[in-house]
Structure 1
Amino acid sequence: MKSNIIKLIILFSVSICFAISALAEKSKETTSSEKTKFGAAVAAEGVVGLDEILAHPKENISKKIVAVAKVSKVCKAKGCWMEVSGDKEKARVTFKNYGFFVPQNILDKKIRIQGELTEKTMSVKEQKHYLADEGRSKEDIAAVKEPKFVYEFVADGVEIVN
């Protein structure tokens, strides 16, 4: 009887060890710092540089675009927006329906963005919100007094290239 109880305890312990090991491996695979794709799959063909898109923005409004750019800013609160740069141009990127976020540690990474280019007037309140998300000073935030016209990507997918 004692021997059976000891065998059951050993069997139970080994089962728990295997389960913990499997969970740890699965956790490693899905860690966002290692993840390179966010949202919908990004098309591999038809990729255009950000500068080329913004050289003729009116022609690209509301079209499905795949752009390549470098991350220059990321929301420090949640990763719910970013700013990307080409050689000359920059644009803000938000994520369709607030459906996904990106890691905050992707500054200077080259990425591909799939989504639509939009044009809008950003309110003073929204500008201040973004500056606060960036961690900017109270003085910088208070200096915003006027709405501002911007081009913005609404991305349904982002892929980190390097």
Structure 2
Amino acid sequence: MSLAQQTNPHVVLMDLRMPELDGAAATAQLTLTVPGSRVLVLTVYDSDMDILKAIEAGAVGHLLKDTPHNELFAAVRAVARGERRLASSVAEKLMHRSMDQPADLLTARELQVLSLVADGLSNKKVASKLLIGEPTVKAHLVRVFDKLGVKGRTAAVMAALERGLLRH
């Protein structure tokens, strides 16, 4: 992470399975500490959970490692321009999933985080309770704020209660 902070890369190619920190957690941490960087996941895994974790963590693209070189290079350039890139198999999985739920619906993990915030827990305590990193909690909250169109924790809880997303 310190190398990324020193070099401030435009695009980071991220694997999902790494020895110390998984790719989704590393992506969440990177997007918080080096906000101008865009993460393109390049992995052999295309399971729904792997894809969603990476996208929810802030990745703007997800390609499989068997992607032809010319398509990979084009994707890196596109992501550098601010576009999103997904392997066709990944896009199809996300399309099927999104047809099952409204676009503004919070993910299960986002609801867990928001529910604990509604209970008065700090980001550190939420992270400890859910066995995730504090940067990941912050990343989830940023997405919750965006989806609910609010600017803070209290407003997010209130909006979720009003919409029936939380029961307290």
Normalising by the residue count of structure 2, what TM-score does the alignment of the two structures yield? Answer: 0.24
Larger strand proportion of the pair: 1
Please say which structure displays the higher CA radius of gyration: 1
TM-score (norm 1): 0.24
